[in-house]
Structure 1
Amino acid sequence: MSLHEGNWPDARSRRRQGPVAPERSLRIKAFYGLLPYVSHLARQRRMRRFVQLMDIKPGTRVLDLGGSPRIWDNVEIPLDVTMLNLPGAIPSAELESIREPGTNIHSFHHIEGDACKVSQFADASFDLIFSNSVIEHVGPEDKQEEFAREVIRLGKSYWVQTPSPWFPIEAHSGLPFYWFYPERFRAWLLARSRKTLPAWWTDYIATTRILSHRRMAKLFPNARIRVEFLFGLPKSYVAHSGKNDTH
C-alpha cells in the first residue's frame, strides 16, 4: 500500500474497480486467488513474532503507517492503534465497522496524511511505529529515506517489514524472481502488459521499488534486520528496534 501522494491515485482507482486481480489475465487471477492464503499464514506467523520480540503490552500506543485494521486481528493484546493513510486508502465501510462498540479489542483511530512527512506528531509520540509492506511503495530512494526518518523519529521503537527479492514468486506481479530480470526486460514486460491489462495494475508494478537486506540496514542503522522465512525460503525483511533487540 503506497503512502506517497505520487503513487496513490492508481492504487485508489484499483479499490474502486473491485477485484484485486485484472480480470483478463488467468495467470494473475490464479496468483491473486492463492495469495490471500499464503499471506494469511505469513501474517499470522509475523504478528506472533512481532508480539514476542517487541514485548507488546496492553495499551501500547502504535502508529501504523499505511496499514488496515485487519492485520491487528492477529494480535490478542488490546492496543491503541492509530492508522495513517492517504485519503481513500481504507474503504469507509471498513472504518465504520471498527468504530462500532464491542467489535474489536483494540482502540482504533484513523488519520489522513503522508507517511513520508508526518507533520501531525512530535518526536517519540508513539511507543511503537509499525509498517507492513509499505516502504517499497512510497516512491524512489529519496522518498524511502524520508519514510525511514519519520519511522525513527516518531517512535520509541519500530517494526518495518518489506518483501524480500529472493522469494521465488514476486509478491506483487506473481512472476518468478522478477527483480532479477534485466531492467530492460522488465520494461518490455510492463509495456506488453499495458496492451491487455488495466493501467492501474501495470502502474502499481512499475512504481514498486523492492529493497535489499543491505538497503534496509542502511535506512535503519540502529535496527536489527531479521529475515522471515516461508517454506524455508526468505520471504521478507523486518527492521526492528526496541528494548529486546540484540545485535
Structure 2
Amino acid sequence: MPVRSLRNRLVDGPDSWGAKRRSRRWTWLTETFPELPDMTVLDLGGRVDTWERAPVRAAHVHVVNLEPTPDDLPPWAEADHGDACALPEDIRRRRYDLVFSNSVIEHVGGHERRLRFAETIHAMAPAHWVQTPYRYFPVEPHWVAPGLQYLPVKARSSIAHWWPLQHTKATDRAETLQAVLWTELLDKTQMRHYFPRSVIRSERVAGVPKSLIAVKKN
C-alpha cells in the first residue's frame, strides 16, 4: 500500500480512523454544550473550514490563527491573523460564550507561552473546550510514529525527517528540527496546571488515553 494512502486510511481521509475519532469528539462537544448553535465561539489556532464541515455549527465563529486569513468567509465566520498567546487589543476587548481549541497548545512554544495561552482562554469566555494529544499515548500523532515523542531531540529530528507517514515532508533537516522543537506533547499534570478549574477528560483507545480535553462550562 502506498504511504500516502496508508496515512489517509489512518488519520487524514474522511473515512479514516482519525476522522472517526474527530467525529466522536464533535459529538462530545455538542453533548457538553447543547446550546452551541446559539453560541459565539473564539477558535484559537483553528480554521474556518473545520466549522464548515462540523455536524453542528456555532452561531458565530471567530478564528484567530498565525496563518494567512481566508479571502472568502461565510457570513457566520470571521478570521484574524494573530498570536493566541498575545491577542491584539481589539480582540481582547471582546467576549465570547466559548473558547475552542483543538491540538494547538502543544505547539505554542514552551511553558511560559502555554501559560499565556491558557490565560487568554480563561479571559475571553466563561466556558472552554481545549483538546491536545496525550504525551504518553504510544504513537506520536503528528508523525504517526510509535514512541517518537520519548526520544532525544536529535533522534526525533533524524527519524522525523525521513519518516514516511508524516503529513508534509520538510524541505531540509533544519525545517524538520523546527517542527520537532515546536511540538511538545502534554500530560495530565500539565493540563491540570493550566486549567485548574476545568474537568480534564480523557479520550481513550483500547483503554489508553489518546488525548486530553480541558472542559469548563458556564
TM-score range, shorter chain: 0.7 to 0.9
The two structures, once aligned, show a CA RMSD in angstroms of 2.5
Counterpart CA distance in 2 for 1:175 and 1:51 is: 31
Structure 1 match to 2:195: 220
Task: Say which SS state the counterpart of residue 37 (structure 2) adopts.
Answer: coil
- The answer to whether the aligner puts 1:112 opposite 2:88 as a matched pair is no
Q: Tell me the distance in 2 between the aligned counterparts of 1:134 and 1:57.
A: 21
The two structures have a TM-score, normalised by structure 1, of 0.73
- The alignment status of 1:60 with 2:48, answered yes or no, reads no
| Residue type of the alignment partner of 1:51 | T
AA paired with 1:34? L
Counterpart of 2:91 in 1: which secondary structure? coil
Report how far residue 165 of structure 1 moved: 1.6
- Listed as ranges, the matches of 1:31-180 within 5 Å are 31=7, 34-36=10-12, 37-72=16-51, 73-88=53-68, 92=70, 95-96=71-72, 98-99=73-74, 107-118=76-87, 119-122=89-92, 125-180=95-150
Q: Secondary structure at the match of 2:38?
A: coil
Q: Distance in 1 between matches of 2:159 and 2:146?
A: 17
Distance 1:141 1:180 in 2: 18
> Hey, what's the Cα distance between the residues in 1 that align with 2:108 and 2:44?
11
Letter of the 1:79 partner, please give it.
A
* SS of residue paired to 1:235: strand
2:209 corresponding residue in structure 1: 234
Letter of the 1:70 counterpart? D
Segment drifting more, 31-40 vs 170-179 = 31-40
Offset, 1:222 = 0.9
Pairs aligned (count): 204
The answer on whether the counterparts of 1:124 and 1:153 sit within 8 Å (CA) in structure 2 is no
The 1:29–1:77 alpha-carbon spacing in structure 2 relative to 1, beyond 3 Å, is: closer
CA deviation map 1:34-93 (0-9, x unaligned): 3212321111100110111123343200000010123322232442100001142x5x4x
Residues 155 and 230 (structure 1 numbering): CA distance in 2 closer, same or farther, change over 3 Å? same
For the structure 1 residues 224 and 145, does the alpha-carbon distance in structure 2 shift closer, same or farther, using more than 3 Å as the test?
same
Provide the rounded CA distance (Å) in 1 between the counterparts of 2:160 and 2:54: 36
Partner Cα separation in structure 2 for residue 58 and residue 52 of structure 1:
12
Given that 2:140 and 2:147 are in contact with CA atoms closer than 8 Å, whether structure 1 keeps it comes out as yes
Q: Pick closer, same or farther for the CA change 1:28–1:164 going to 2, 3 Å.
A: farther
**Percent sequence identity over aligned pairs:** 28
Deviation at residue 204 of structure 1 after TM alignment: 1.3
Provide the residue aligned with 1:16 in structure 2: none
Higher relative contact order (CA 8 A, sep 6+): 1
TM-score, reference length from structure 2: 0.82
Query: Per-residue CA shift, 1:181-211, capped at 9, x if unaligned?
Result: 3x2xx42341465589533344212321111
Mark the runs of 5 or more structure 2 residues left unpaired by the alignment. 163-168
Gaps of 5+ in 1: 1-25, 102-106
Which structure carries more strand by proportion?
2
Deviation of the 1:171 alpha carbon: 0.6
The alpha-carbon deviation at position 231 of structure 1 amounts to: 4.2
Measured after TM superposition, the shift of residue 124 of structure 1 is 6.8
1:229 to partner: Cα distance: 1.4
